[in-house]
Amino acid sequence: MKLPPILQAESRTRLMQGAAAGVLVTVVVGFGWGGWTLGSSATKMAETSATNAMVAALAPICVNKFTQAAESTATLVALKATDSWQQDTFVAKGGWATFPGNKEPNRDVAEACAKILTAQK
């Protein structure tokens, strides 16, 4: 059986080199600019997105719980007097970032809640 000229000797080498270069370019372009991601990266992005959505939904509830609590005006003054890096702990200890079904407060929600509350006048 006679092989076509493209698959013979030196031509075959160039064909294989071209195929390898084509695969390499496809992979680089696909992952670099084509938006391809690995499964682990996609999972991480999905988890981050879900956490951000949860915080965005629960932070206003935390603020509402805070403002509906007894002596919320004095508590807000105390929150604003607290160092910024401890404000989320203040909100967490107050129980405003603890939701039904959870035993512990959510730190991300407490941080977002504290930011919203300290931005209020």
Which tens digit of pLDDT belongs to each residue from 59-101? 999 999 999 999 999 999 999 999 999 999 999 999 999 999 9
**Statement: residue 48 has pLDDT above 90:** yes
Measured CA to CA in angstroms, residue 106 lies from 42, 57, 73, 80, 115 at distances of 24, 13, 23, 20, 14
pLDDT on residue 62: 96
pLDDT on residue 7: 62
Per-residue confidence band for 8, with pLDDT thresholds at 50, 70 and 90: low
Contacts with 94 (C-beta within 8 Å, 6 or more apart), sequence order = 66, 69, 75
pLDDT on residue 119: 93
Contacts with 24 (C-beta within 8 Å, 6 or more apart), sequence order = none
